[in-house]
Amino acid sequence: MISSLTAIAALALQAPSPSLSWQRDTATYDSERLRGVVAEASRANGRVPPALGSYTARLESEISIGSQRPGKGELSFSVEQVASALAWNRMGAFEQHVTGYRSQSVGLQFATLGFLRNAWAVPSLYGNRLALLFGGNSTGRRPPMSRGGGSRRTVYAVHPLADDRERVYRFRGGDTVVVLRMNDREIPIIRVQVEPREDLPPNLVIFTGELALDAGRKHLVRMRGSFARVEEGASRAGMLRAARLQGIAFVELVNSEIDQMYWLPSYQRFELHATAPFVGDARAVFRIVSRFRDFTVRPPSAEFTSMQRIHGPADTLHIREHRLTFSPLDSMRAFAAWREELGRASSAVTATDFDDVAPPTWRATGPPRTSVRPERVDDVVHINRIEGVWTGLGVTRQFREQAPGLTVRGVAGWAWSEKTVRGRALVEYTRHQARYGARVGRSLDITNDFRVAFDSGNATNAFLGVDDYDYVDRRYLMASAARIVRPRVGSAVRVDLGIVEDRQARVHLARSPIGRYRFHDNRQVLEGRYVRSALTLDWRPDVSAELMRVGYGGRLYYERGDGDLAYQRVELRGAVRWNRGRTTVAGRADVGQVSGTVIPPQQLFELGSSEALPGYGFKEFAGDRAALFRGVVMYRLNVLQVPLPLTRRLWLPSPSPALSAGIQAGWTEISTAAARTAVNRLGLVDSTQFALWRPISRASDGVRATVTAGVRLFGGGVGVLLARPVDHPSGWRLLVTLGRQL
């Protein structure tokens, strides 16, 4: 899942945008008043103010890759922090010089800095064209990192306030919507909506979104929206066929007033959202968040002033290359002047911030839309020992303006070894921050407990013989209602109610296709039909100790069964991730209890090697009560702090070795006779034949804990550790980890 989304984000740097199907242009401006406002703004922004000759500044950027899940918040898989020095002059020359770098990631990944072959900062919003990060073709070789040099060809978009704007854009709005307070001054701000015209020439890079203008002097304060390249023929505005990768670049460019004379960059955000049919509703998100500081502004040179007197005023921003260069490796290693903690800038924003300026095909408004698209990645293909290879197809109908907020989905597929059809149908209705739904289907549900945030199930690992899950064959008819408390981060309250039937799932794929490794039996379940009700309270589900977003998150889950299976189950989770200087602290705690006169084995808590207890067997411990804690503290050493170029475009992130200490501790208890019976049932070959019982799980008899100590590399993605259990006498053993493991 992580690798596929990372690849999508990288590929989408070259992908066109989705369909930009705008209504036919009837007027360039909403009103004559708006025409006058835009004309004044064009004159004010078309040329650099006379007193501004050049500037230097410091830039701190955070580059992240993650995944946005509809209604569930955002997962963050990697974060890189880059420090740069900027130098710009009014003739259009601009250089971004990288001086520092550090990173963290879930696993060993390529550094995105290697793919960025030209400056990503937009040095000025003055002029007729805007220099952009994306959209061009390479015209030169990548310079060695330690020497700097040339850059990728800078791509220029038509500025919405350019002299030739009327052949490209149309404008709406123009009302004063907010008053900006700076020191003792109040600056009224005008908001103008910008849309592209029809019949634009191909290869033009255009903007869609909104402008914020200083109402007094008509200077540009902020641009927010998206950029797209006009394509040839039927795809000229970025239209993609349903089977192709879809990507769109969003930007937020914010200026601040300098010396009450002109507006220069203070905050910039670039995001590339990419999706494809095989990843369902999730979007890969590539993000750069930058803050500008420590400006030094200089007046025009005497030479330029003399030229202006001779030749008269002219457009002072010529189209020139925007260079990206790098300090020598020794200088980058020594950099320590970071202004923000790693992960904070990207954790403060989310991909849904741009929903209001997304292209029409990605919005909740517009004509009805039907697409061949699953809800999740494994709706297309997956493999496990129960079904064997499963292939499926999903269809989604978004009613949009025909029935606002209504969506219908259907997914069906065939399990080739089990020779069984599974699927589901869903109806969802969203109104403001309320979401209602009904679903019916047959699924193969996983019974593993306390799973990590990015564990969406076994999609492909069983090909190689790894299937560390147990399953229950479940039919259901459910209704749900949810209240989204914080839409940007997925915090929500949800209630579910419906009828469920659990059946035993039996192994139909005895060995893996590759390696022919033998799979273990599926654990027993108690079959029956029951009314299932559940309450879920999610707080910041985007924060997980295993992933990169910083902050605090938690979850309270209560479930009840009434009928053939009668039980109550409650779970509580808390997670934290915190960076301060060279120190990273990440931890997660889970506790749970299940009760009932007859406890279904599939509702027990099971812990072992697959649940973060290294050194113990697969689900070795079970019980009606359980707790699990995972935590790590890392202290980064001030060595090897720069990326490692493998080729001109493929760089490993900086090794960034860090001293690491961690603990994984788990506990289970069998507190009642009903719990003992349920644990015994786990080992039955047939739930009606107690004579075939064999014990496969037991209570933990106290806390089972393992401590680790050693070195983690590449921001925690690789660990070379020594591990030792503390619950019984044992020696240290070597543990090498790939991927973030607490």
DSSP secondary structure letters along 101-150:
EEEEESS----GGGT--S--S---S-SSEEEESSS----SPPPPTTT---
Q: Is the dihedral of CA 497, 501, 502, 505 positive or negative?
A: negative
Whether the CB-CB separation of 162 and 171 falls below 8 Å is answered with: no
Dihedral angle of Cα 299, 304, 306, 312, to the nearest 10 degrees: -110
DSSP assignment letter at 676: H
> CA-to-CA distance for 519 and 510, rounded, in angstroms?
6
Angle at 633 between CA 628 and CA 635, to 5 degrees: 165
Burial class (CB in 10 A: 0-12, 13-18, 19+), 382: buried
Q: What is the pTM of this model?
A: 0.83
Q: Which two tokens stand for residue 466?
A: 């790894």
What's the start-to-end Cα distance of the chain, in Å?
A: 19
Q: What is the pLDDT of residues 143-186, one digit of tens each?
A: 344 434 444 456 788 899 998 899 999 999 888 777 777 666 77
> Cα separation of 169 and 190, whole Å?
18
Closest to 19 in 3D by CA, of 268, 220, 246: 246
CB neighbourhood size of 478 (10 A): 19
Q: Are 605 and 592 in contact (CB under 8 A)?
A: yes
Length of the chain equals 742
Q: What type of residue sits at position 95?
A: E
Q: Are 100 and 338 in contact (CB under 8 A)?
A: yes
Round to whole Å and give the CA distance between 504 and 90.
73
- C-alpha–C-alpha distance, residues 388 and 507, integer Å: 9
Read off the tokens for 369.
Answer: 């839309």
**In which element (H, E) is residue 171 found?**
strand 169-182
DSSP character at residue 638: S
Residues 82/87/92/96 CA torsion (nearest 10 deg): -20
CB 621 within 8 A of CB 606: yes
What is the pLDDT at residue 23? Answer: 44
For the record, the structure tokens of 467 come out as 């299937």
Contact criterion met (CB below 8 Å) for 445 and 471? yes
Nearest to 464 by CA among 518, 521, 523, 418: 518
* DSSP string across 181-212: EETTEEEEEEEEEEEEPSSPPTT-EEEEEEEE
- Phi then psi for residue 348, to 5 deg, are -85, -5
Residues 6+ apart with CB under 8 A from 285: 9, 64, 65, 66, 67, 68, 74, 271, 272, 273, 274, 351
The helix/strand/coil state of 94 is strand
Whole-Å CA distances, 206 to 132, 230, 277, 359, 431: 11, 7, 26, 13, 33
CA–CA separation, 449 and 613 (whole Å)? 13
Return the closest-CA partner of residue 147 out of 321, 328, 322: 328
pLDDT value of position 25: 45
Residue with tokens 């020139």: 320
Q: ∠460-465-468 over CA atoms, to 5°?
A: 80
Ranges of the chain whose pLDDT falls below 50 = 1-16, 19-25, 135-152, 234-243, 310-311, 685-693
Give the E-state strand segments of 318-453 in sequence order. 322-326, 369-372, 381-384, 388-398, 406-415, 420-431, 434-446
Eight-class DSSP state of 403: S
**Among 389, 373, 329, 416, CA closest to 100:** 329
Region label for 135, one of left (φ > 0), alpha (ψ between -120 and 50) or beta (otherwise): left
pLDDT of res. 695:
61
Closest CA to 367 of 410, 407, 398, 395: 398
